[in-house]
Amino acid sequence: MSRYAIIGGGGVFAIHFAKYLLEQNSTESVLSIGRNPPKSSAFTLDIGKEDSRFKYEQVHLVFEQDRLFELFDQMQPKYIVNFAALAYATSWEKSFRYYETNVVAVAKMCEQLMKRDYLERFIQIGTSELYGSVTKPADEDYPIQPTSPYAVSKLAADMHLETLWQVKKFPMNIIRPSNAYAPGQLMYRILPRAVYAGLTGQKLPLQGGGLVKKSYMHAYDLARAIDLVMKKAPFGKIYNVGPQEPVSIRHLVRLIAEGLGMELDQLVDITPGRVGEDSQYWLDSSRIQNELGYREAISIERGIQDMIDWGKRYLPLLHNEPMEFVLRA
């Protein structure tokens, strides 16, 4: 039986990972830790609501690590997975916030975790954005070329963890996923916002005509990848995980329009592209496929239908949700 702690537990990918763990008979307990109180059912999906193995605690990773370690020492988790990050590409304003959360807080936490003998493995959820815009699939040895403070901060955390493994044998792995999505994603993200716009007769601002290409994977597939790394990977290794091919944002929004019985031009208004935005993210996931047996299970078409079904089910709860990103500490 295994005990898990999830940091950044209020985020959509952490919620789907908790769901995945609670579906396993071998899971003894799941402690989910997030900086905010739980949101509505549209975003928590009521995961763990009736399950005595699940507990959510509100703790701020930057300012409340004393409380964090009180919870850790009480639970003594075997596995800790860190999803927590300020994660928004336009990170040039108040960039110090990204370093506080994505680098300094991680370094402080791991320094204390090295003193705890109950921890068997720490999983850091990284990002594909540190490879920058690419013209071919980037493997784990691809030249690093971050193009935003967010990407730099994530790279710095990865490098710190790599040295902890090399010098101190801190039992860690890093997973660099492509862009993920799932029901329960916050409304400033492109897919939930497109679904909401289509369901309410609004127009979605499609930046740059949606020509940017990204590699979108369902959060369920990310959860499976994390589980494989936790249970099977050699310590210290980095694994990319993403779909075989990238797709344009325009294509994704078109799939949503089609799923709602609309034409694309009924759903979108074309707006200028974001300054400095990378044109294509594309990962080579051969390592996790060949070494750990990972295979993508949910197609983009099925995943888009999941998003539409979620929007229809929870539409009354979405009306007052913010549609723009707000930076917080």
CA distances from 150 to 11, 27, 100, 226, 244 (A): 17, 33, 11, 22, 25
CA distances from 160 to 11, 115, 284 (A): 24, 17, 23
HSE (side-chain half, CA atoms, 13 Å) at 248: 10
* High-pLDDT (> 70) share of the chain, %: 98
Please report the sign of the dihedral spanned by the C-alpha atoms of residue 161, residue 167, residue 172, residue 175.
positive
User: Does 60 or 91 have the greater pLDDT score?
Assistant: 60
Give the pLDDT confidence score for residue 276 in this predicted structure.
61
pLDDT in tens, 196-224: 999 999 999 998 888 889 999 999 999 99
> Is 165 a residue whose pLDDT tops 90?
yes
CA distances from 175 to 25, 198, 205, 224, 239 (A): 24, 34, 32, 12, 5
> Is 273 a residue whose pLDDT tops 80?
no
> Is 194 a residue whose pLDDT tops 90?
yes
List, in order of start, the domains of the chain with CATH numbers: 2-180+217-241 (3.40.50.720), 183-214+245-279+298-318 (3.90.25.10)
Give the pLDDT confidence score for residue 190 in this predicted structure.
94
Strand intervals (E) in 113-198: 121-125, 172-177, 179-181
pLDDT in tens, 63-79: 999 999 999 999 999 99
Give the pLDDT confidence score for residue 66 in this predicted structure.
97
> Is 275 a residue whose pLDDT tops 70?
no
> Is 14 a residue whose pLDDT tops 90?
yes
Strand intervals (E) in the chain: 2-7, 27-34, 54-58, 79-82, 121-125, 172-177, 179-181, 204-207, 213-214, 216-218, 238-241, 247-248, 268-271
Mean pLDDT confidence for 123-131: 95
